[in-house]
């Protein structure tokens, strides 16, 4: 444990501290005292840098490979660049150019795959066989990823507020596991709530049924960071014991939360980043008059998508 | 001076500290190391709260009156509410409902005037005669306003970075004067550059001609915080001696800077808030390889305006 703590301390010198944002308007709207822990100004614009940097820092491999069409790819490429390692990110050939460019800007090699012919996972396996010095990295199902994300939990614990609840977005479960792990390390009993899109509710169903439930297909939630098929094996036991519950959020409520954060808090967030505020506003009764920390996981959203969401503001 | 410093210390317990944001992409684009001091998460969403709170805190009057259709009105209403004083804000009858609502949300009384019949300044004078216990407050031309804004300068001085340049937006000159005053207080020689819309360049012309030049009409820059007719009398001597120069910025460059901050820094800013980044990008040669602090003055922009600006992203 002290080994892990030392690594987390080392990591915290590399990451940017989270940004705590308060909005009186949002607090009034929620009927609670809301503190946002925003990872939108983290390196590469999302919390994923915490996990990526920790993996790259702690592995001996000179070359990291991951499948990611989103924030983890950028974060891994950036961490590899900072620590002078090679990075390959497998992305669908249909990925937005802006996301491909972002990985390349950080010196990552992008491997585009025609996913109608070969799955991303299979291409990653092929690459791992070709590059025997490389290590394949999961964006969420990995103890080093969880430890990396726990650094955000440490910051929340140390921020000077005593929270009645922490709400965290749930996709593969890497961030939620990290927050729970940090609290457990400090014997901190603050309840942690997950926030998950209703149309991608595998984690919520998993908690209810007591075993990992998988989505049949990648759910097409606007919260693209929560489009995972299931919780990771490493995340599951931590979340099963550590999450109070998971709040399922409607798609329209996610978009509304993006607008609320724009209007009431001056925060530009990606839809996945708005999940926790959507959950808070959907379950006001649960949090009435409480001191609530909502984690905003990232801010990377295409201008066109953002413009469409703002149409109804 | 120590009296002023004590008041600034008192003020700093009431304001939210500024948010320092870094973006590698923005720094690469500028060819400089850029640190943004963002006031978008300040109470009421702009730096104006610093000045408003300082005035309300230091005056004995139980009632404050100001003319403002923008951020100062909200800030004054909020400060008066926090310090249990009355507040009246004179606004044109044509003001956006969202701005009227914002003042009222903080308990301010809104006096709408038909500006084709009576000027806002005249209505303020009438109100001052009606309310003999009230004090009229300027948004920028006031020593207490300048002292209040100097609290942001203190934070920049203390942030741990040694800057080669600080760029600050210039409208009436209240913020720029505050930054210069803080630096002078500490004998800090860091050059301060103003950023002003080219179509509202009265301050730039004033510096060049050595006397206050007034715009004939309110210039219709998209940076609505810089639509002032001229620098204030209190601001003029401070800026004449304290500003290195003022960079004039094209309207298109202001909109581009709003987009750059959205894309490269995940920051939602109002057009006036983007002036300094626009100036930095317009005069890259001046700041090459320097460590530059750009002050982003506020984030309050209507969704419709923001959507239009993002169209070209």
Quick: pLDDT tens for B69-80.
Answer: 789 999 999 999
d(CA A96, CA A91): 10
Taking the Cβ of residue A303 and every Cβ of chain B, the question of whether any pair is shorter than 8 Å is answered with yes
pLDDT-based confidence at residue B5 (cuts at 50, 70, 90): low
B306 CB neighbours in chain A (<8 A) are 262, 310
CB B31 within 8 A of CB B58: no
Residues in B closer than 8 angstroms to A299, CB to CB, are 266
| Residue B88 bridge partners (DSSP) | B65, B109
Give the model's pLDDT for residue A150: 97
Instruction: Tell me which chain B residues have a C-beta less than 8 angstroms from the C-beta of A161.
Output: none
Q: How far apart are CA B161 and CA B33, in angstroms?
A: 11
Query: Using a CB-CB distance cutoff of 8 angstroms, which residues of chain B are in contact with residue A265?
Result: 41
pLDDT at B99: 82
- Identify the three-state secondary structure at position A112: strand
Of A82-96, A166-180, B272-286, minimum mean pLDDT range: A82-96
**Residue range B156-161: mean pLDDT, rounded:** 95
Contact call for B41 and A22, based on CB within 8 A: yes
Residues of A in contact with B24 (CB under 8 A): 43
Distance (Å) from the C-alpha of residue A262 to the closest C-alpha of chain B?
Answer: 8
Q: Pick from B19, B262, B265: which is nearest to A303 by CB?
A: B262
CB contact under 8 A, B268 and A268: yes
User: Token pair for residue B267?
Assistant: 């920051």
| Whether the predicted model's global pTM rises above the 0.80 cut | yes
A310 → closest Cβ in B24, B266, B307: B307
Q: Label residue B311 exposed, middle or buried (CB < 10 Å: 0-12, 13-18, 19+).
A: exposed
Res B1: pLDDT: 47
Provide the pLDDT for residue B3: 67
Q: Is the pLDDT of residue A116 over 60?
A: yes
Q: Given CB atoms, is B284 within the 8 Å cutoff of chain A?
A: no
What number is the average pLDDT over the span A161-189? 97
| A267 contacts on B by Cβ (under 8 Å) | 41, 268
**Closest Cα to residue A243, out of A192, A196, A280, A206?**
A192
Which residue among B21, B306, B307 places its CB closest to the CB of A41?
B21
Whether CATH 1.10.3720.10 fits B2-46+142-311: no
Measured between alpha carbons, how far is B239 from B203 in angstroms, rounded to an integer?
9
Domain boundaries, chain A: 2-46+142-311, 48-137
Size of interface A-B (CB pairs under 8 A): 57
- Percent of chain B topping pLDDT 70: 98
Cα Dmax for chain A: 56
Q: Which of B268, B306, B310 to mutate to test the interface with A (most CBs of A within 10 A)?
A: B268
The more confident residue out of A9 and A2 is: A9
Phi-psi bin for A9: left (phi > 0), alpha (psi -120 to 50), beta? alpha
Nearest CA in chain B to A308: B307
Cβ within 8 Å, pair A268-B266: yes
- pLDDT at A1 > cutoff 60: no
pLDDT of residue A250: 98
| A48-137 has the same fold as A2-46+142-311 | yes
C-alpha–C-alpha distance, residues A12 and A239, integer Å:
23
Distance from CA of B307 to the nearest CA of A (A): 5
Architecture of the CATH domain B48-137:
3-Layer(aba) Sandwich (3.40)
Model confidence over B254-308: pLDDT tens digits? 999 999 999 999 999 999 999 999 999 999 999 999 999 999 999 999 999 999 9
């Amino acid at each position: 444990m002290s080994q892990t703590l030392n690594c987390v301390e080392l990591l915290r010198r590399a990451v940017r501290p989270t940004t705590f944002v308060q909005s009186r308007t949002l607090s009034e709207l929620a009927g609670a005292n809301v503190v946002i822990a925003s990872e939108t100004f983290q390196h590469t614009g999302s919390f994923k840098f915490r996990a990526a940097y920790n993996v790259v820092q702690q592995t001996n491999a000179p070359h990291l490979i991951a499948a990611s069409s989103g924030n983890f790819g950028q974060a891994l490429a950036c961490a590899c660049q900072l620590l002078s390692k090679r990075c390959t990110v497998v992305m669908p050939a249909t990925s937005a150019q802006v996301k491909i460019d972002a990985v390349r800007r950080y010196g990552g090699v992008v491997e585009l795959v025609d996913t109608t012919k070969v799955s991303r996972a299979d291409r990653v396996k092929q690459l791992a066989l070709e590059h025997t010095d490389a290590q394949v990295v999961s964006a969420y199902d990995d103890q080093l990823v969880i430890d990396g994300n726990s650094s955000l939990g440490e910051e929340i614990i140390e921020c000077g507020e005593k929270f009645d609840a922490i709400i965290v977005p749930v996709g593969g479960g890497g961030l939620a596991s990290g927050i729970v792990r940090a609290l457990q390390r400090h014997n901190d009993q603050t309840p942690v709530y997950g926030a998950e899109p209703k149309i991608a509710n595998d984690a919520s169903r998993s908690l209810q049924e007591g075993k990992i439930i998988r989505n049949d297909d990648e759910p097409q939630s606007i919260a693209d960071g929560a489009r995972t098929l299931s919780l990771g094996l490493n995340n599951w036991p931590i979340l099963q014991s550590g999450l109070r519950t998971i709040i399922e959020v409607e798609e329209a409520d996610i978009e509304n939360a993006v607008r609320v954060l724009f209007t009431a808090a001056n925060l530009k967030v990606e839809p996945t980043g708005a999940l926790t505020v959507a959950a808070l506003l959907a379950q006001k009764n649960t949090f009435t008059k409480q001191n609530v920390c909502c984690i905003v996981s990232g801010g990377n959203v295409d201008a066109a998508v953002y413009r469409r969401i703002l149409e109804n503001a």
